[in-house]
Amino acid sequence: MPQSVVLGVDSSTQSTKVIAVDLESGEVAGEGRAPHSGLDIQDPVEWWDALVASTRATVSPDMRVEAISVGAQQHGMVALDAHDGVIRPAPLWNNVDAAPDAERLNAMADFGREVGTRLVASITIAKLAHLARTSPQDLARTVAVGLPHDWLNLRLTGNLVTDRGEASGSGWWSPRDGRERRDLLALAVGAEAAARLRLPQVRGPVEPAGMLREDAAAALGLPANIPVGPGTGDNMAAALGVGAAPGELVVSLGTSGTAFAVSGEPIIDETGEVEGFADATGRFLPLVCMLNCTRVVDSVAAMVGLLREDALSRAAAAPPGADGLLLMPYLAGERTPNLPQATGSITGLTAENATPEFLVRAALDGVAAGLAYAVEVLSRLGITASEVTLVGGGSQHPAWRQAIADATGLPVVVRGGGEHAARGAAIQAMAIARQEPLDAVVARRRPEVVARIEPRPEFRGAFRLEERRRMVEELKTAQAT
Q: Which residues are catalytic?
A: 234
For the chain, the residue count is 481
- Among 78, 81, 107, which Cα is nearest to 91's? 78
Give the C-alpha separation, 387 to 95, whole Å: 32
**CB of 376 within 8 A of CB of 340?**
no
Please report the beta strands in 53-157, taking only residues with DSSP state E, as ranges in sequence order.
63-72, 78-80, 90-91, 144-146
Instruction: Give all strands (DSSP E) within 308-419, no chain letters.
Output: 326-328, 345-347, 388-391, 412-415
289 exposed, middle or buried (CB, 10 Å; 0-12, 13-18, 19+)? buried
Distance between terminal CA atoms of the chain? 68
Please state, in angstroms and rounded to a whole number, the distance separating the CA atoms of residues 121 and 95.
7
15-22 and 179-180: which strand pairing?
unpaired
β-bridge pairing 41-42 and 90-91: antiparallel
Distance CA 30, CA 18 (A): 8
Q: SS3 for 99-113, per residue?
A: HHHHHHHHHHCCHHH
Q: 204: how many CB neighbours lie within 10 A of its CB?
A: 11
Cβ atoms of 465 and 322 closer than 8 Å: no
* CA atoms within 13 A of residue 275's CA, in its CB half-sphere: 30
Q: What secondary structure, in 3-state letters, does 291-313 show?
A: CCCHHHHHHHHHHCCCCHHHHHH
H/E stretch holding 30 = strand 28-35
Pick from 117, 126, 129, 91: nearest CA to 13: 91
Q: How many CB atoms lie within 10 A of CB 143?
A: 16
- Give the CA count within 13 Å in the CB-facing half-sphere of 307: 2
